[in-house]
Amino acid sequence: MGHSQAAAANAPGLSRFGEFFHTIDGKPESSGAHFDVINPSTGQPFARCPDASRAQLDSAVAAARRAFVPWRELSFAQRREYLLKLGQALKESIEELAPLLTSEQGKPLARAREELNRAVAQFDLLSRIEIKPEVLRDDAQGRTELHYRPLGVVGAITPWNVPIVLAVPKITQALYVGDTVVVKPSPYTPLTTLKLGELAQRVLPPGVLNVVAGGNDLGQWITEHPGIDKISFTGSVATGKRVLASAAGTLKRVTLELGGNDAAIVLDDVKPAQVAPRLFQAAFVNSGQVCMAIKRLYVHDSIYDAMCDELAALARKARVGDGFDPDVTMGPVQNKMQYERVLGILEDTRQTGARILTGGQARPGDGYFIEPTIVADIAEGTRLVDEEPFGPVLPVIRYTDVDDAIRRANDTRFGLGGSIWTNDLERGEALASRLEAGTTWVNQHVGTEPGVPFGGCKESGLGREYSELGLKGYMEAQVVKVARAG
Ligand code: NAD
């Protein structure tokens, strides 16, 4: 038995996790139809997930509308108490849920625990931000205030790369401001989110949080549904555009967190050995399947070869394999379609004559494993540089003039994040502010904070999540004008 087969044998079987249910109106519900959920480390189904019907979506939306009436009347402090209870229930379930998250998503068990811990923190941190009415005018004629009201029912649609850390902020922000929620996780990774719904049955009033699993058609029904007031969507640019078009039918409010093709620009004053580990981490985190991972690395000509050597050495050291093997540092690509897409980009890269320094191919055997890949002597005009590969592949691009590097970094329809790496912090900040992206960093890349708005420019998104700005996106502005009697 090979190493990964041994790890797979350690993976929990279906009986360990039991049956999975939607959460509709505070109760577990199954469906007539089911679909298989595949463990990406084996390529084999390991669980069956209920597939919600349109009628079940209608009941979830109806329950959320009923629950909205009393929920919106609670104070922020009362809703925060409920959220903390759900956060506590999640915290107590981490040891049970981490193996489930590893089984469906593929990430190493330690990273699954980390994702769940980060989600627990979001319950607390996002519900600490206060939204107060603003006084716009107060004089002899009267008083004008700007209030923010709960919007109604939020449809939250999530992808497969970090399912819990992306579902929880949508849930937390919406519930905290007084909205109620229907969540639909990705059909590739629905199970841990369904379990979160089951936890909510114990601590939240019925209907406040509904979780329904299903395919892309269920996502489409959510975007069209007349009982839903806002869509908070995280996923690809192509689907985001469909969501926006479909939501226009009922003029829903829409927040879109979409793909990125983030550039990092390394100036000539850094020591490659010093920054390479951080660059590597920011590019290969979650096997490169992070919206704001570094996807194009621009390195100054004078340190280019040394940087390529450092990165290739780190890639060779990474241990790719089944997330249940404790020595593994990098899991598989999450699904077959994405795996084939990344392999297609690698094939295209070979045709361009670029130098593949390490990796460049699938690992033989079961599962969707691709060796971490560093590509040198590559430039714009190739699929690897121009598209979002969303896998463990990093193109290292040579530049000589930093203004030219900034221009090339900005020459894209994406605009999620970008970074500058330098010892000259002032210069770094000035250059970072010229990157056309929702978040720009100096000497770091990747990461969100509850108090800091996050979102994309251009085709990387619409609106912001997190912070007061994000919370207001889950609310409706209302002006209240009071004329002084006179
Ligand atoms: P995807 O767009 O294929 O799917 C995302 C979700 O949308 C899934 O739940 C899917 O079932 C649903 N869906 C599909 N078609 C739909 C439709 N017509 N209407 C409504 N819903 C529909 O994305 P993915 O492949 O699961 O995720 C990877 C993408 O997500 C990458 O592009 C990545 O960059 C992006 N992403 C962005 C962020 C961010 O915050 N900006 C974070 C993580 C991932």
pLDDT for the residue numbered 17: 81
Active site (annotated) includes residue 257: yes
Q: Say yes or no to pLDDT of 16 above 80.
A: no
Give the nearest ligand 1 atom to 162 CA: 43
User: Would you say domain 3-258+460-478 falls under CATH 3.40.605.10?
Assistant: yes
Q: Say yes or no to pLDDT of 466 above 50.
A: yes
**CB of 159 closer than 6 angstroms to any ligand 1 atom:** yes
CATH classification (class only), 262-450:
alpha beta
Q: Say yes or no to pLDDT of 114 above 90.
A: yes
pLDDT for the residue numbered 5: 47
* 3-state SS class at 472: helix
- Lowest average pLDDT, out of 59-63, 407-411, 446-450, goes to 446-450
pLDDT for the residue numbered 2: 41
- What is the whole-number distance in angstroms between the Cα of residue 201 and the centre of ligand 1? 26
**Entry pTM:** 0.96
10 confidence band (pLDDT: 50, 70, 90): low
CA distance 371 to 318: 9
pLDDT for the residue numbered 15: 54
Domain ranges of the chain: 3-258+460-478, 262-450
pLDDT for the residue numbered 449: 93
9 confidence band (pLDDT: 50, 70, 90): very low
pLDDT for the residue numbered 7: 53
Burial class (CB in 10 A: 0-12, 13-18, 19+), 140: exposed
CA distance 325 to 327: 6
**CB of 414 closer than 6 angstroms to any ligand 1 atom:** no
pLDDT for the residue numbered 297: 99
Digit-coded pLDDT (tens) for 305-328:
999 999 999 999 999 999 999 999
Same fold? 3-258+460-478, 262-450: no
Which residue from 118, 164, 236 has its CB within 8 A of the most atoms of ligand 1, so it is best to mutate? 236
Q: Say yes or no to pLDDT of 122 above 80.
A: yes
pLDDT for the residue numbered 486: 62
Torsion angle (degrees, nearest 10) of CA 203, 108, 309, 358: -130
Q: Say yes or no to pLDDT of 34 above 50.
A: yes
DSSP structure class, residue 190: -
Digit-coded pLDDT (tens) for 51-67:
999 999 999 999 999 99
Neighbours of 88 (CB within 10 A): 15
Digit-coded pLDDT (tens) for 141-188:
999 999 999 999 999 999 999 999 999 999 999 999 999 999 999 999
**CB of 455 closer than 6 angstroms to any ligand 1 atom:** no
* 3-state SS class at 134: strand
Q: Say yes or no to pLDDT of 12 above 70.
A: no
Which residue from 158, 212, 216 has its CB within 8 A of the most atoms of ligand 1, so it is best to mutate? 216
